[in-house]
Amino acid sequence: MSSNYKELYKKSVDLGEQQKLRQQQLLYEQKRRRQLQQDVHRLVKDSDDDDDDEQEQSTSSGQSKAQQKKRRQRNKNTKNNHNDSKNPYLRLQQSEWLRHRPDNLSDWLLLPCPVGKRCLVMASNGRTKVYNKAGRIVMQLRSLLPGDGYVQKFKTVLDCVYVQEMDTFFVLDALSFGQQLLLDCDANFRFFWLRSRFDEHGELSERSNRNEKPFKLLEYYDFEDASAVEQALQRYPQWEANQPQLDGLLFYHKEASYTCGSTPLVCWLFPFMLPDVLNLPVHSGYEAPDDYLPSAALEYMDEFDRKLLAQRQQLKKSSKAIETVKEPAAVAADVNAMDEDDELEEFAELRSLLDHQRRLELGELDMDCSPAMTAPEPEPEPVVKPGPAPQPVAKPEPAASSSSC
């Protein structure tokens, strides 16, 4: 048994080292990408200036209007392509476990995260839509975010946690806010920009006819300010009257861009883990569960992931089983309806044949089956029927489709 624990510990330590290497590599790649984008901006600006000079010279030299129009169209296409490349692929940023204490903790920001449903809020074209993790629209509302409200020509995309009990959005991060695209900006700038915008627009945190649900910006703490971080970790509950409740703690690297998907530059810990992983004390109110051992925090992370994966797989199987049960039932209903229609059709043909034979015997029809033009048709005599005619069966209505929204 002890050898198994040693193997698990060794594996967890290896994962921690791998995470550190991935953090360094991703930081380098993001810095390089930002530098390249700055170079592209310079090239585009210089190109625009050169084109303007060329256009003036060509106009003065009597260059044809067709050539001038062609050059302007080429410049327009270049700008459009550049803008299209910056359109964000709207997926939520996902954190990883913080498996090691960073070499320089002052490079990180601390953000307490409430219990709720993670979502992406997009305000554009005079509407505000809420998307879940799968990218489905789960809510539409009116808000005062740029893109909705009074400023509809811009776009705002916020990374939020929706707390249903409070009917409030708590803002974690942003991909864009108004005219400012934040996707490729570092976390330090994104958080600063959000704070300044929310300070300017206090009406966002209030409920009104134009702002149907409040948007509250969560406070973050810089590890360079050790006293502020200590006060945050010793505060219990984290928010007044424990509304909302604290779920866990997010750790953002200051130089990290917003990554659509999982990233090692945004990490996660439960409050009771901080003394063991980061050697930072927390309030005694943040109690650990019974199955948590302070000396086995990394193993707890692995076991937590295994349980979560098993739970998701079980939920997926249950969903498939429900769909499998529904499908044969729907098929059987369709088959029964088709059989009943066939029986009705066959019985109608038999009744028509018997009636035709009887009328021939009575001389009501000629041999060519044309109706006689003499006496009016007498009342038909009772005919022995093969059985009671089944009543027409109403076709089953399609089952209402279930939606996760």
Buried/exposed code over 307-322 (b: 16+ C-beta within 10 A; e: otherwise) = eeeeeeeeeeeeeeee
**168-213, pLDDT tens digit by residue?**
999 999 999 999 999 999 999 999 999 999 999 999 999 999 999 9
Range of the domain at 232: 93-288
Could you give the percent of the chain with pLDDT greater than 90?
54
Same domain, 79 and 122: no
Name the average pLDDT for the chain. 78
Which CATH number goes with the domain that contains 225? Answer: 3.30.470.30
- For residue 114, the cross-strand partners are 246
Number of CB atoms found within 10 A of residue 123's CB:
27
pLDDT at residue number 372: 41
Same domain, 330 and 278: no
Same domain, 132 and 221: yes
Work out the angle between the directed axes of helices 65-85 and 2-60 (0-180°, nearest 10).
Answer: 170
Assess contact for 177 and 156: CB atoms under 8 A: yes
Note whether residue 34 is domain-resident: yes
Q: Encoding tokens for residue 169?
A: 């959005």
- When pLDDT is averaged across residues 354-375 and rounded to a whole number, the result is 48
Q: pLDDT band at 10, cuts 50/70/90?
A: low
- When pLDDT is averaged across residues 104-128 and rounded to a whole number, the result is 97
Res. 242: pLDDT tops 70: yes
pLDDT at residue number 307: 94
Same domain, 217 and 273: yes
Note whether residue 276 is domain-resident: yes
Query: Picking from 17-21, 315-319, 361-365, which range would have the lowest pLDDT averaged per residue?
Result: 361-365
Note whether residue 208 is domain-resident: yes
Same domain, 112 and 46: no
- For residue 252, the cross-strand partners are 109, 266
Note whether residue 379 is domain-resident: no
CA 245 from chain center: how many Å? 23
Same domain, 125 and 34: no
Q: Which of 95, 90, 112 is nearest to 23 (CA)?
A: 95
Same domain, 41 and 80: yes
- Provide the domain count of the chain: 3
**37-89, pLDDT tens digit by residue?**
766 655 554 555 555 555 555 444 545 566 656 555 555 444 443 343 343 44
pLDDT at residue number 338: 42
65 or 321: which leads in pLDDT:
321
Work out the angle between the directed axes of helices 2-60 and 297-361 (0-180°, nearest 10).
Answer: 80
Note whether residue 393 is domain-resident: no
**280-301, pLDDT tens digit by residue?**
999 999 999 999 999 999 999 9
- When pLDDT is averaged across residues 19-46 and rounded to a whole number, the result is 77
Same domain, 59 and 165: no
pTM for this entry: 0.67
pLDDT at residue number 42: 56
